[in-house]
Structure 1
């Protein structure tokens, strides 16, 4: 995940998929996405926590299915905080700054030869 800092992040809005690009952070297999608490992503996760992430490039592609939740815990927000976020938030204590935490249930990895490996929780 460290080699691919941008992912497509899919949620469910109503009964339709909704996808957007986001900056990806991780700690092991747990994925973190920083966002504003007022975005549709937050509402979508509260209604339906099922998510999908896709990242990589032609040599390797990773798809992650999992569940997401909104985390506004001070420890998590400070751990993830970086100066790039200053474009949107006043600091790690900004009340609108939250972290989406994604716990994978299935990961598919394809290498450049299209060999597929699957991990399931």
Structure 2
């Protein structure tokens, strides 16, 4: 069963790149849409070190992310992803994640404000499979 759940989750993470990421700001939830890249259930997202989210994850490194809901209604699968965030300045990782659309925000992967948030999963739930109970991937 776990292999099937993992395969479904990996497919959703591979196919869905944009979703809300929640952090904590002034002891309250704060969400924003982010673009995610994934590898082996770990998520990555590019941001600027000058953003509020950077300050927020430095104070509290835990996040909650939703990915996969397509808006079709009942039965539309999605993933609830709880993770722990680490800020990375890895040149290799920044080059690996760089896409041309990022030129709107950064001068290039070497831009000193460009950082990567690495999100290690704590718990991943597969939700809303046509009325079935959520499935939790054991990590």
TM range (shorter): over 0.9
Matches for 1:8-87 after TM superposition, within 5 Å: 8-57=20-69, 58=73, 59-87=76-104
Q: Which has the larger radius of gyration?
A: 2
Q: Is it true that 1:2 corresponds to 2:9 in the alignment?
A: no
Query: Over aligned residue pairs, what C-alpha RMSD do you find?
Result: 1.1
Aligned counterpart for 2:106 among listed residues 89, 96, 117: 89
TM-score, normalization by structure 1 = 0.94
Q: Deviations over 1:29-88 (max 9, x none)?
A: 000010011000100010000100011224211001110011111111111111110111
Q: Which secondary structure state, in structure 2, belongs to the residue aligned with residue 86 of structure 1?
A: helix
Q: Deviations over 1:8-44 (max 9, x none)?
A: 1000112111000011111120000100110001000
TM-score, normalization by structure 2 = 0.83
Distance 1:31 1:108 in 2: 15
Distance 1:108 1:81 in 2: 28
The match for 2:117 is 100
Q: Which secondary structure state, in structure 1, belongs to the residue aligned with residue 15 of structure 2?
A: coil
Alignment check: 8 A CA contact 1:89 1:96 kept: yes
Number of paired residues? 121
Q: Which secondary structure state, in structure 2, belongs to the residue aligned with residue 85 of structure 1?
A: helix
Whichever structure has more helix as a proportion of its residues is 2
Runs in 1 of length 4+ with deviation above 2 angstroms? Answer: none
